[in-house]
Structure 1
Amino acid sequence: MSSLYTIGRQGSIILIWNGTRIDLEDVVDFQVRQEIKVQRTNPLNKPPIEFNTPAGWRGSFTIDRGNYALDDLFNADELAFWNSNTISSGVLYCYIQETDGSTSKYEYSGLTLSFSNAGKFNAEDIVTQTVQFFASQRRAI
């Protein structure tokens, strides 16, 4: 029997950075939220009017560190910036297996990344790493 609701195992992400696919081993958490800009006017002769305009997407993902892919990505980006003032960019793809058997696909473009947690090393614990991101736009593909 299939579930009536989406569960975390039904989602997956793929990161393309500077044209290269990054091998994200064991993604254990992915979250994203829409950003908006509140537009408001307060006319003297009528009630306030407010509406929202899209302002990008912000999110994060966490991996259980199984390789050095993220470490290498952020090291290369930092060197590129200091050596040649290069700002890297990429695209994030999210795939969701829907309960009806179809797959929803989303592309997050205009991506910027920050390595908010490069890892904590304890003798008996799995090392986790977290990346925060901003995307200018999300579109269904």
Structure 2
Amino acid sequence: MGNPYSIGRDCQVVLLWNGIRIDLRDVVGFQAEQQVKLQRSDPLNSVPVEFNTPAGWRGQFHIDRGSSALDDLIVAIEAAFWNAGIIGSGTIYQYVNETDGSTSTYEFTGVALTLSNSGTYKAEAIVTQTINFFASQRNRI
């Protein structure tokens, strides 16, 4: 019998920036959380009504630095802005191997990135980088 629960190794993350795949060799952590905007009405003649409307997704992933791919991407994003005023966007694909043997694919669109930690360099230690993202929408494909 297989594992009845999702475990971290069941997930793969792929980043496309302006349609080009960025080779992030060793993604060691991925997290995403839905953002919502609270809507509330407090009518004088009735009980309060409250609900949420979707407001995108925020998350982060951690990469054990195996190449300059992430650093080069951030340099290219900055250069595109300072040289031409261009602000690019990306897409993140999350593939989850389900316990029943199927694969769920989630697409995060309209992605903006922030390299929140470019890594700490010290002797005999793996350099781990952290990238935060905002995505306009998450779709199942």
Name the TM-score class by shorter chain. over 0.9
Query: What displacement does 1:111 show?
Result: 0.5
Q: Distance in 2 between matches of 1:47 and 1:112?
A: 39
The aligned counterpart of 1:89 is 89
Tell me the distance in 2 between the aligned counterparts of 1:35 and 1:112.
15
Q: Within 2, Cα distance between the matches of 1:25 and 1:65? A: 8
Partner of 1:118: 118
Taking structure 2 as the reference length, what is the TM-score of the superposition?
0.98
Partner of 1:32: 32
Which residue of the partner structure matches residue 67 of structure 1?
Answer: 67
What is the CA distance between 1:87 and its match in structure 2? 0.2
Which amino acid counterpart does residue 16 of structure 2 have in structure 1? Answer: I
SS at match of 1:73: helix
Shift of 1:102: 0.3
Moved over 2 A (4+): none
Structure-1 separation of matches of 2:131 and 2:88: 15
- Unaligned runs of 5+ residues in structure 1 are none
2:98 is aligned with 1:98: yes
Report Cα offsets for 1:68-127 as digits up to 9, x if no partner: 000000001101111110101110000000000000001000110000001110112100
What count of residue pairs does the alignment treat as equivalent? 141
- Residue of structure 1 in register with 2:6 after alignment: 6
- CA RMSD in angstroms comes to 0.6
Q: Tell me how far apart the structure 2 counterparts of residues 21 and 94 of structure 1 sit (CA, whole Å).
A: 13
User: What is the one-letter code of the residue matched to 1:10?
Assistant: D
Using the alignment, how far apart are the partners of 1:110 and 1:76 within structure 2?
18
The TM-score, its normalising length taken from structure 1, stands at 0.98
| 1:16 paired residue number | 16
Identity, in percent, stands at 60
**SS at 1:66 equivalent:** coil
Residue 140, structure 1, aligned to residue 107, structure 2: no
**Separation of aligned partners in 1, 2:72 and 2:88:** 13
Gaps of 5+ in 2: none
**Secondary structure, aligned partner of 1:101:** coil
CA distance in 1, matches of 2:46, 2:122: 61
